[in-house]
Amino acid sequence: MRDLANQSRPTPNGTETLASMVYQKLREDILNGHLEPGRKLRLQALKDQYDVGNSPLREALNRLSANGMVVREENKGFRVSPASAAELAELVRTRCWLEEIALRESIRNGDDAWEERVVLSYHRLSRAQRPTDEESFNTNPEWEEFHRQYHLALISACNSSLLIGYCAQLQEQALRYRNLTPVVAYRERHENNEHEAIRDAVLNRDADEAVKLLLAHFEVTADIVLSSGALK
């Protein structure tokens, strides 16, 4: 295997590109639970694991620290952000506040193109299988991506890129918590029905109903995570 650290040397932008690659890999490993909450991130072990040099690795860790995935401790280095019931409650509460604003604004301002985005993103999500198979019940990455796109489509007409960015960041944090619980724990949940009901309320321009359904959707997920015993 080529040394990825050496790939950053030919061009001035190489280190930045490599840092982005390492950032994405670390982010994925944190989101899917391969790097569990609270885990100490030892630089040498990460350099060996990701075949990368010190500079792009530190840049990636600093970026993860900025978006809350990683905690930087003074004179102690980095560790994966811890997870707790209290933090989950705060996360859901804040996400509900922001997404209610974003959804109401999108319903108020959304045009035909926005409605088409909502319909198309729902259609793609509804056709994807959440587990890769019924025996292992492993998470399907395609479903996760369509799920992300659907929720962002709902709020994409709010006319605030800053608000959408904050909502996207909280969505990532929520995904990290959701992935602490085995997918099988969601087996009895009818998520597609929830998504369909939200879509219908949105297309009917019923903001109160759409918000009620969306917030309940977030809270059900949090209840499943809490009841699973994944958090201490």
- CATH number (domain holding residue 219): 1.20.120.530
17, 48: one domain: yes
Question: Alpha helix (H) ranges present in 69-206?
Answer: 85-109, 112-127, 141-154, 161-178, 191-203
Q: Note whether residue 232 is domain-resident.
A: no
What is the reported pLDDT for 16?
62
Q: How many domains does the chain have?
A: 2
What is the mean predicted confidence (pLDDT) over 206-212?
98
**Euclidean distance between CA atoms 158 and 210, whole angstroms:** 14
**Which of 80, 104, 134 is the last residue in one of the domains?**
80
Whether the pLDDT of residue 149 is over 80: the answer is yes
Domain harbouring 39, CATH code: 1.10.10.10
Strand order of the β-sheet with 40-41 is 40-41, 77-80, 70-73
Whether the pLDDT of residue 47 is over 80: the answer is yes
Whether the pLDDT of residue 11 is over 50: the answer is no
In terms of phi and psi (left: phi > 0; alpha: psi -120 to 50; beta: otherwise), the region of 126 is: alpha
**Euclidean distance between CA atoms 35 and 50, whole angstroms:** 13
Contacts 24+ apart (CB under 8 A), 186-189: 186/130, 186/224, 187/137, 189/220, 189/224
**Which of 80, 113, 128 is the last residue in one of the domains?**
80
Residue 17's domain comprises 4-80
92, 46: one domain: no
220, 108: one domain: yes
73, 109: one domain: no
Q: Note whether residue 92 is domain-resident.
A: yes
100, 187: one domain: yes
Do β-strands 70-73 and 40-41 pair in parallel, antiparallel, or remain unpaired? unpaired
Chain segment 168-200, per-residue pLDDT in tens? 999 999 999 988 887 656 666 788 999 999 999
What is the reported pLDDT for 87?
93
52, 123: one domain: no
90, 20: one domain: no
Q: If you count them, how many residues does the chain have? A: 232
**Which of 56, 80, 104 is the last residue in one of the domains?**
80
Of the listed ranges 16-25, 164-173, 206-215, the one predicted with least confidence: 16-25
39, 153: one domain: no
**Euclidean distance between CA atoms 120 and 142, whole angstroms:** 15
48, 11: one domain: yes
What is the reported pLDDT for 222?
92
pTM, rounded to two decimals:
0.83
106, 76: one domain: no
Would you tell me the crossing angle of helices 191-203 and 141-154 to the nearest 10 degrees?
Answer: 20
